[in-house]
Amino acid sequence: MRLFHTSDWHLGQNLHGQERDFEHACFLEWLLGQLKAEQPDVLLIAGDIFDTVNPPLKAQERLYDFIISAHEQNPKLTIVMIAGNHDSGSRIELPAPLMRRLRTHALGRVLWLDDGQLDAERLLIPLPDAKGKIAAWCLALPFLRPAEVTGAHLGDDYLRGIGQVHEWLIAAANAKRKKGQALIAISHAHMAGGSVSEDSERSLIIGNAEALPASLFDASVSYVALGHLHKPQRVNGEERIRYSGSPIPLSFSEIGYKHQILDVTFQGQCLVSVEPRLIPRSVNLQRLEAAPLADILKQLADLPDIDLLAETQRHPWLEVRVRLDEPQPDLRQQIETALQGKAVRLVRIAAEYAGKRGSDETDDERLIELDQLTPQELFSRAWQDSYGSEVDEQTLKDFAVLLQEVQQEGEQP
């Protein structure tokens, strides 16, 4: 059996106010071409399908048009997709009855039976091979929110609740599978040892407390298709536990990433190979590193001019970092004037101010913009300003729970 593993599409995302629909359309067109040419049995989409719990209509149309097109050209293809922390679990599941007719399984949340046991049956999905024979079982684990894995039957320990869900689901899968059938998990989580992007992934809970041990997936699980971290990587060097990464760079910290899907092959229950398929980058991200304004203006003048025959939507997104001695009221105007007629699209100017070092600072103090800070960082700074001390871990955890409740307020479609 053969599957493709992808994740973190973030349909509907914008980069400092600029929509990315063209880039997502290019990726999905490329993916359809790969599915048609290679004819895998399964496509796994490991969460953060949308960028927000209430994605724009165009983003939803992109997803459903893709699923329909994939089914039309690959009628035997099984698609399994799960909700990530950016997604609304209920929205992902809403069209599930219709999508099942397209051999697509959408899992947004875990449910519990009246006796307090995990409803494992709905999370176990048979994966047939090209001949229609069940070759594997998919253990579908959408992003697990604290409210779903804590409570009367589970206690108040979030990580312990997650561990129990994994343990029960793996036990149920082992009881169901027959000899030679592989167990393949799909999960949206931050695994301990995973490399985080500088400013892309939204924290799942708080700090390192959210990181899950790879030992949750015992040796009976042949492959773990992960989502959440945008950099393609193995977890703790294990070939069978992988992040596919995001298909496009979602922030300037991802400029150097080799975006990819993973082509995974099994022989019976044994993992045979995991091969990356590199995704062509439809729009480049370009950054001018911090330098004095005069140097920056010279670099801007050296940028290529607009080619009237080229597609403007393929022009790179540009971030400019400027080192200043003092604020320049006309900074943006100078930069925009220098960029007239240039084949780039300016999305961000970041100013860095020299000469303001504190006694314990080792680098130039920066002007921090709000969009560079997570809600947790803003809360920690506000606490420090108000009380003159670092916020304690329990308060941070309480804030994280409140933050998730606020983020889920608009989750019902």
- At residue 200, does pLDDT exceed 60? no
80 in the same domain as 6: yes
pLDDT at 154: 63
Lowest mean pLDDT among 71-80, 205-214, 216-225, 387-396: 205-214
- Cβ-proximal residues to 235 (8 Å cutoff; 6+ apart), any chain: 191, 192, 193, 194, 214, 224, 226, 241, 242, 243
The pLDDT mean for the chain works out to 86
Burial of 258 (0-12, 13-18, 19+ CB in 10 A): exposed
The Cα 41–Cα 340 span in angstroms is 49
Domains: count for the chain: 2
| Mean pLDDT along residues 322-333 | 87
- Could you say which DSSP state residue 339 is in? T
Where is 137: in which H helix or E strand? strand 134-141
Nearest to 188 by CA among 45, 74, 295, 317: 45
| Residue reference for tokens 């320049």 | 328
Domain that holds residue 306: 285-372
- Asked whether residue 43 falls in the same domain as residue 149, the answer is yes
Q: How far is 226 from 284, CA to CA, in rounded Å?
A: 25
List pLDDT tens digits, range 73-106. Answer: 999 999 999 999 999 988 999 998 899 999 999 9
- What's the Cα-to-Cα distance from 172 to each of 138, 156, 215, rounded to whole Å? 12, 24, 17
What is the reported pLDDT for 410? 52
Statement to judge: residues 21 and 49 lie in one domain: yes
Same domain, 333 and 225: no
Looking at the fold, whether 269 and 298 belong to one and the same domain comes out as no
Rounded mean pLDDT of 283-299? Answer: 93
Residue 182 and residue 225 in one domain: yes
Q: What is the model's pTM?
A: 0.84
Determine, yes or no, domain membership for 405. Answer: no
Q: Phi and psi for 347 in degrees, rounded to 5?
A: -120, -15
**Who's near 68: CB < 8 A, 6+ residues apart?**
102
Q: For position 317, what pLDDT does the model report?
A: 95
What would the pLDDT profile of 305-322 be if each residue is shown by its tens digit?
998 878 899 999 999 999
Indicate if the pLDDT at residue 26 is higher than 70. Answer: yes
pLDDT band for position 207 (cuts 50, 70, 90):
very low
